Structure 1
């Protein structure tokens, strides 16, 4: 993987197209054009650094260099230097007052992925979720025009809920990449002794670990729902849709369970469209 100088609008358009079939796209489609384009810029940034961390064909040393290069691009954007490919973020940063610390936190989270997580402590898992998901939420709620207190609380809880759902959905795919995000405390409580990712997720007792982690995700969904139910100022359609969609995925995972073998659970696109209609989220 190489980092090339791509025109900002070209990069954003490419990643908007890549997102077009995802639940993310459905959530963003309900936003007015300026906010939607800003969110696609955030998506583009996240996709790029995530791809760097996931590119297993490269030596880890080269992946570190690539992530550090993006750290420098973001720093230059805020310092008034040449931001290189991070120029795609210049408009959203200026318009919505996005914080550099949140972009850097995402890179920190990708670095955690790169270095490998195998049965992290609950505290480390929470830090990881904050960096790769809640930090993105903190950027997003500014674009949604939310007030600081409500926006920060929503980003905290919804980011963690979504990321924990992703972890619970992707246990097999992550294990194949040598990653085990399930926390040490819950693995030990369930009697799962292996910390090799493939061996751990092959243990039928991992079902108890995943169900315990799902309870934590449900708590975060409930807290995010409380924020949204209060109808704070801002464009809430997108986070409402993402909450409904991913909480539905979690319910399907709980019905299926995690005893191997595990069929894949996906977001139901037809159900997403129905949510859009039911919630009056078009337009």
Structure 2
């Protein structure tokens, strides 16, 4: 299927809607080199459309699977974006925020931009959306308050939601820079761990918010060892065993974020824009983990959300030292030193 070339209005819409659907990425994406800014902004919107399909609770499991598969075909150029909009848009509920309603409505504009990229970029985006769509649909079908079976099941969920995004970003970084590409094998090995560290932080922060909508992404095995049955959890009644299980997962997330720092330091120091993009996300995640660790009895995500002042401090500090690996490693050690460590084997933290 031949798609129309993007217009200036399409590019402008992409920049504007990004601010509406994500304050964090609207902050970090502009830090990237111009050649990457456009494609990674588009990639985020594609992932957000995928996420919207999965999150709208008005859709049946069958509809979610069907529309997720259709969107993958849209991204690949096999199905018209207009047809996708005609089928999904009328089904969206008030659960989907107005900005996401608007994004779905303007899917053709986003896709015209997608189809303007070079073959390597398009392949990376197509692969990411395909894996994410199928994986998230699989997990949605088993979404309950029982939690996931075990840590490997949580790892797989994190891969579908965020690890595959790490792989996609690495492909785009390597396509952009021959110097970055020289470290591709090491970067790809670490990219899934980077994504999982960010996603695990979100899962831990959103435990109680997720439960309100009938979902739990925590691993049963870790909590059963502490005498905790996840289905029986009640907000505001945090038992010692639950806090111990939480500490174990904080240690796992910390290790993943340590890998995220190694990943960032493999990016050439002169690529400060890419480093800032990585460091701001990493910095906010590790500070959120620290807050969760201090308040393991929290019962609302707002209680462990970092302040705007903390975000500004993170942005300023990491920007100043973006090119200095020694300082970055020292900062990470200082900030994370009070977080629990994990006894899980290192080999489980790397892409195989």
TM-score (norm 2): 0.68
Q: Which runs of 5+ in 2 are unaligned?
A: 1-5, 82-107, 175-179, 323-352
Q: 1:36 to 1:261 in 2, by over 3 A?
A: closer
Corresponding residue for residue 116 of structure 1: 142
2:199 to 147, 151, 163: 163
**Is the contact made by 1:210 and 1:258 (CA closer than 8 Å) also made in structure 2?**
no
- Alpha-carbon offset, residue 210 of structure 1: 1.5
- Alpha-carbon offset, residue 115 of structure 1: 1.2
Superposition map of 1:178-257 within 5 A: 178-195=214-231, 199=234, 202-204=237-239, 205-232=241-268, 235-257=274-296
Task: Give the number of the structure whose alpha-carbon radius of gyration is greater.
Answer: 2
**Is the contact made by 1:171 and 1:180 (CA closer than 8 Å) also made in structure 2?**
yes
Corresponding residue for residue 150 of structure 1: 186
- Alpha-carbon offset, residue 59 of structure 1: 2.6
- Alpha-carbon offset, residue 97 of structure 1: 5.5
1:90 to 115, 119, 142: 115
Q: Secondary structure at the match of 1:279?
A: helix
Hey, what's the Cα distance between the residues in 1 that align with 2:306 and 2:189? 25
Hey, what's the Cα distance between the residues in 2 that align with 1:133 and 1:26? 19
1:204-247 per-residue CA deviation (whole Å, 9 max, x = no partner) reads 23222221111100011112212323444753221122111111
**Is the contact made by 1:171 and 1:201 (CA closer than 8 Å) also made in structure 2?**
no
1:136 lines up with 2:165 in the alignment: yes
Hey, what's the Cα distance between the residues in 1 that align with 2:198 and 2:63? 29
Hey, what's the Cα distance between the residues in 2 that align with 1:193 and 1:166? 21
Q: Which runs of 5+ in 1 are unaligned?
A: 1-5
Instruction: Count residues with an aligned counterpart.
Output: 271
Hey, what's the Cα distance between the residues in 2 that align with 1:12 and 1:134? 24
Hey, what's the Cα distance between the residues in 2 that align with 1:186 and 1:251? 20
Hey, what's the Cα distance between the residues in 1 that align with 2:31 and 2:159? 25
Hey, what's the Cα distance between the residues in 2 that align with 1:173 and 1:151? 33
- Alpha-carbon offset, residue 41 of structure 1: 0.8
Corresponding residue for residue 127 of structure 2: 101
Hey, what's the Cα distance between the residues in 2 that align with 1:137 and 1:83? 28
Hey, what's the Cα distance between the residues in 2 that align with 1:54 and 1:211? 28
1:126 lines up with 2:162 in the alignment: no
**Is the contact made by 1:23 and 1:269 (CA closer than 8 Å) also made in structure 2?**
no
Q: 1:243 to 1:110 in 2, by over 3 A?
A: same
1:269 to 308, 312, 323: 308
Hey, what's the Cα distance between the residues in 1 that align with 2:17 and 2:33? 18
**Is the contact made by 2:114 and 2:122 (CA closer than 8 Å) also made in structure 1?**
no
Corresponding residue for residue 330 of structure 2: none
1:16 to 11, 15, 18: 18
- Alpha-carbon offset, residue 152 of structure 1: 1.0
- Alpha-carbon offset, residue 149 of structure 1: 1.6
